[in-house]
Amino acid sequence: MENYQMMMFNTQPSPTPPYYNYDHYPQNLLPFSTTTTYDNNNNNTTTNNIGSLHEFLLSSNSNDEKIISSQGGGLIKRRPEEGEEEEQGGMVKKMKKKVRREKYAFQTRSQVDILDDGYRWRKYGQKSVKNNKFPRSYYRCTHQGCSVKKQIQRLSKDEGVVVTTYEGIHTHPIQKSNDNFEHILSQMQIYSGC
DNA sequence: CGGTTTTGACCAGCGC
DNA sequence: GCGCTGGTCAAAACCG
């Protein structure tokens, strides 16, 4: 499993890049075995054995935004769900009305920025970001009625790392026919030389 | 020709 | 109030 995990996060440019859509993984085979939790100051707080992303999402009940770095380079950032905001003076009403959805970020070591997750995306913006020489790209899912967004940004301090942030949940099946677990496995075997 | 990308403008939130 | 920053819009350009 450890080899698979590394393959999932270390992609190479290819006509048929590895697929790693977590929503469609068998939940017990997600590439998360060990996670390290950091607080807002990036201090290491805990290290846990977590069998899968699914388990992590179920077990995570803190209202704080978290950054989770998994063995192999995965990273998850969780934000409070709608209605979880702390009340802060005059901001309460606005915060309550504002729809905030779950946001998860995956940190991937890759030479390519666009990592194929099986869904079709349309780019709607690009911005330069403070303290980062690489721009951040904004994408929306092209499926009708699906409002999932993602952001892609390469780290300035580690140019080999791409951070993909997903916001929202897809309301439809995956849009590419060859995105199944057998395909993922065969891709990993090709790259790992098995 | 339809879908996607590019890119400058615009807007909202936040700190000072 | 003002400036900075992040996020979105939308028209034009691009591409298969």
Average pLDDT score over residue span A133-150 = 90
This prediction's pTM? 0.58
Are the C-beta atoms of residues A138 and A149 closer than 8 Å to each other?
Answer: yes
* Reported confidence tier of residue A175, pLDDT bands at 50, 70, 90: low
Q: How far is the CA of A121 from the C1' of C15 (A)?
A: 16
Q: How far apart are CA A23 and CA A12, in angstroms?
A: 22
Query: What's the distance, Cα to Cα, between the start and end of chain A in Å?
Result: 13
Q: Confirm if A112 and A17 have CB atoms less than 8 A apart.
A: yes
Binned at pLDDT 50, 70 and 90, residue A117 comes out as confident
**How far: A57 CA to B8 C1' (Å)?**
39
Nucleic acid strand B: bases within 7 A of protein CB: 3-9, 13-14
Footprint of strand B on the protein (CB under 7 A): A 91, 94, 98, 120-127, 137, 139, 142
Does at least one atom of strand C sit less than 7 Å from the CB of A138?
yes
* pLDDT tens column, A84-114: 333 332 233 333 334 455 677 777 777 777 7
Q: Give residues 154-173 of chain A lying near strand C (Cβ < 7 A).
A: none
The stretch A107-128 carries a mean pLDDT of 82
Task: Quote the pLDDT of residue A22.
Answer: 38
Task: Quick: pLDDT tens for A6-42.
Answer: 223 333 332 222 233 333 332 322 333 333 334 434 4
Instruction: Tell which residue, A45, A48, A89, A90, has the closest CA to residue A64.
Output: A45
Give me the pLDDT at residue A138, please. Answer: 95
Name which of A56, A37, A55, A35 is nearest A45 in CA terms.
A37
